[in-house]
Structure 1
Amino acid sequence: MHNLSHFQKALEKRKNEGTCRELKPKSDGIDFYSNDYLGFARNKDLQNLLLKNVLDKPHLLSGSTGSRLISGNSSKVTSIENFIAKEHQYPSALLFSSGYNANLALFSSLLTRHDSVIVDEYIHRSVHDACKMSDAKKLKFKHNDIGSLEQVLKRQNKQVYIAIESLYSMEGDFAPIQEIVEISEKYQANLIVDEAHAFGVLGYGLIDKLGFQNKVLATVVTYGKALGSHGAVILCNDLIKSYLVNFASPFIYTTSAQNFQWMSIKNGYDFLKSSPEISKQLQKNIEIFNKQELKTFSSVNSPIKSVLISDNQKLKALQDCLFENGFLTYAVYSPTVKQGAERLRICLHSFNTEEEIVELCGTIREFI
């Protein structure tokens, strides 16, 4: 008989704290919590485009049959990687089945025991997990704090990597990329940027917008958010791509996704370029939210708005109140965030109406 009591105790502790996670069916309501910023996951025109491609080429739905180094590579995925690299103005691109896998591959393979990696304290969990898979020394700097980053950089005598997100998913604020690029160059550190939440929201992301492709070692773009699809890509030079293909275990030892996934990403790019009005509508909705003057610590142009509710019980009551009024939001409790930093995370979308945004903000304002 296995002794599983320690698992039970850990779960009981979370239940007592009111932070135990459970899988639940998708709720009906007004979406203010998904990452579908442009509504592509529900867009009928895009769905019909995908359907037409499948009807024309049903073999796209078949499994890839193996890893890309054995039988799972195809001319389709190769041509789409070349297309993505050209679109983002990078020499190379390497596709992955998810953003989590992309970060695992990138950080676990590039970092060695001779290296240090300095991460923003709010970097995505996938980066922390990837660092555990390497032997590198991991250090943190205070969120978006250039002074803190420089203090950590000054103490390093190894090869250094810096890891940041361009738009942080829980804070809803942008990284000061211009300043971080300058300091990384000053200390000859390699910069890696995760554009998961900025891609599609601000064109192809902040690195593209600033023209910094040759100033970063690699950029990670994910497709399960604004593109309404699934998967991710690492944008880099030819050397880094070849190194990843040879040394990144999450790439080498996983079965490749089916060609339908890669094709849906290509269709998503085409749809993004042909539908600029959708991105413009998202920006209008962000402006409508900002006019409600609801106190938030998120960036003005961000579609992610975090409202501080520094008490788990009060936050739970607010989320329940919103749900009863038909609004789907996401509450972030401690210890997921520090005690006193609990917040309601609101995601704005192109498909949200002005009436919905105004009513949501009014309900929150009355509650707090």
Structure 2
Amino acid sequence: MKSLPKSLHQKLLQREQNNALRQLALPNNLVDFSSNDYLGFAKSEAIFQQTHDLLVSRNYKVNGATGSRLLTGNHSIYTETEEFIAQFHQAEAALIFNSGYDANVGFFSSVPQRNDIILYDELSHASIRDGIQMSLAKSFKFKHNDVVDLENLLTKFQTATRNPQPATIFIITESVFSMDGDSPDLEKLVALSEKHNAYLVIDEAHAIGVFGEKGEGLVQQLNLQNNVFARIITFGKALGCHGAAVLGSEQLKTYLTNFARSFIYTTGLSPHSVATIFVAYQQLAKSQQERENLFQNIDYFKSCLPSSIFHLPSSSTIHSVVIPGNERVKIIAQQLQQNGFDVKPILSPTVPEGQERLRFCLHSYNSQKEIFTVLDLLSTFVF
């Protein structure tokens, strides 16, 4: 078989030399401190069985969607699930995409137009940034969670584009950031967007299932759902399945159906995948105990952290301990894994050089003994 071009081979060698080469790993039986399965839904036998029962009751004995949703793939469970999701999230409409990546790429590549302005948080997820790069709009990043820097940019671009016709400005952020686990001041962002007549878009991937009375997300916990232009939600975290949706107006749903290429030009999710989303949402509405356990574990984790370990502030499921250097953080992660705990290192260039870290993801099913033990081990390995 023909080998890689030399330029690509050199890029792989450089990754190896920097201790940053990514490799696929098989599932393990270690104590889970790395997955996004915050409520244990991915391993839920009840959701598995209820999904099967739903499909049988609807006589859906097929394996695939057979085509894009605009051709043959828009089975009736799609419609039922989107209506349920929209009602659950107090939105006019929901449009399901095949993944969070597809949703962000489809939205940001198609909604902002030429000469529009996109202002995005500098730590926005790669899928957001990839969608922005595909857009014809002009884009500028603002300092992480810095509303002062954002308002300076808003003022600058509104002044520059006041005549003859003001540009449409989009503000992009996440409600919970995937690497730091922190959150912006969403109420201030809403106030800024309204003051400057901008369109606020919030990715709620790591907030769905965690925040809100029934896991609706941080936007609804703060009762801001009517002040946000669009929310992107994903099902591969707390909901334990696969796919994503864009929440917004009926007009936005129609627009994306017509112009989001990652929606139009792909085979739809299978009936089984969509039925799993539907059942998981029904389970989410009844998962108060799981969320209570989760937040008890978050509080306990923070109380057990040694003061000498640099921990990025977070009230979410994601907690990062910064250990600079790819080689060092990989060694410590391996030591924790050898002792039975699945804790993953996050390396540069995924995070900036010097910000390499261990990323702890907490779950409703972690025990306090597990939390205490893994942090006690960490303190011995770090020093």
2:174 equivalent to 1:162 = no
Q: Indicate which of 315, 331, 349 corresponds to 1:317.
A: 331
Q: Distance in 1 between matches of 2:312 and 2:46?
A: 32
Q: Distance in 2 between matches of 1:322 and 1:194?
A: 32
Q: Indicate which of 291, 309, 321 corresponds to 1:307.
A: 321
Q: Contact 1:54 / 1:61 at 8 angstroms: preserved in 2?
A: no
> Aligned ranges for residues 248-267 of structure 1 at < 5 Å?
248-267=260-279
Question: How far did residue 2 of structure 1 move?
Answer: 7.9
2:301 equivalent to 1:286 = no
2:379 equivalent to 1:365 = yes
Instruction: Point out the more displaced range, 292-301 or 266-275.
Output: 292-301
Q: Distance in 1 between matches of 2:48 and 2:264?
A: 31
Give the letter for the 1:215 counterpart.
N
Q: Distance in 2 between matches of 1:343 and 1:293?
A: 15
Provide TM-score, normalisation by structure 2. 0.93
1:245 maps to 257
2:120 equivalent to 1:111 = no
Mark the runs of 5 or more structure 2 residues left unpaired by the alignment. 162-166
Q: Distance in 2 between matches of 1:326 and 1:4?
A: 40
Q: How many pairs are equivalent?
A: 368
1:61-113: CA deviations, max 9, x gaps? 42111111111112221121111111111111101111110111111110111
Q: Contact 1:29 / 1:328 at 8 angstroms: preserved in 2?
A: yes
Q: Contact 1:38 / 1:350 at 8 angstroms: preserved in 2?
A: yes
- Relative to structure 1, is the Cα distance of residues 136 and 297 closer, same or farther in structure 2, using a 3 angstrom cutoff? farther
**SS in structure 1 of the partner of residue 201 of structure 2:** strand
Instruction: Point out the more displaced range, 1-10 or 264-273.
Output: 1-10
Question: How far did residue 293 of structure 1 move?
Answer: 2.9
2:197 maps to 188
Mark the runs of 5 or more structure 1 residues left unpaired by the alignment. none
Question: How far did residue 14 of structure 1 move?
Answer: 0.4
1:150 maps to 151
1:20 maps to 21
CA RMSD, Structure 1 to Structure 2 (Å): 1.5
**SS in structure 1 of the partner of residue 376 of structure 2:** helix
**SS in structure 2 of the partner of residue 349 of structure 1:** coil
Q: Indicate which of 233, 237, 240 corresponds to 1:228.
A: 240
Q: Contact 1:309 / 1:344 at 8 angstroms: preserved in 2?
A: yes
Q: Distance in 2 between matches of 1:297 and 1:83?
A: 38
2:58 equivalent to 1:49 = no
Q: Distance in 2 between matches of 1:319 and 1:2?
A: 33
Give the letter for the 2:19 counterpart.
G
Q: Distance in 1 between matches of 2:183 and 2:263?
A: 29
Q: Contact 2:93 / 2:247 at 8 angstroms: preserved in 1?
A: yes
1:200 maps to 209
Fraction of identical pairs, as percent: 40
**SS in structure 2 of the partner of residue 65 of structure 1:** coil
Q: Distance in 1 between matches of 2:77 and 2:350?
A: 40
Q: Distance in 2 between matches of 1:243 and 1:60?
A: 32
Q: Distance in 2 between matches of 1:268 and 1:209?
A: 20
Question: How far did residue 342 of structure 1 move?
Answer: 1.1
Q: Contact 1:116 / 1:136 at 8 angstroms: preserved in 2?
A: yes
Question: How far did residue 3 of structure 1 move?
Answer: 7.0
Q: Contact 2:174 / 2:204 at 8 angstroms: preserved in 1?
A: yes
**SS in structure 1 of the partner of residue 285 of structure 2:** helix
1:205-252: CA deviations, max 9, x gaps? 111111111211100110000000111110000111111111111111
Give the letter for the 2:178 counterpart.
S
2:135 equivalent to 1:134 = yes
Give the letter for the 2:69 counterpart.
R
Q: Distance in 1 between matches of 2:82 and 2:4?
A: 48
Question: How far did residue 138 of structure 1 move?
Answer: 1.1
After the TM superposition, which segments of 4 or more aligned residues of structure 1 sit over 6 Å from their partners?
A: none
- Relative to structure 1, is the Cα distance of residues 49 and 25 closer, same or farther in structure 2, using a 3 angstrom cutoff? same
Q: Distance in 2 between matches of 1:321 and 1:339?
A: 22
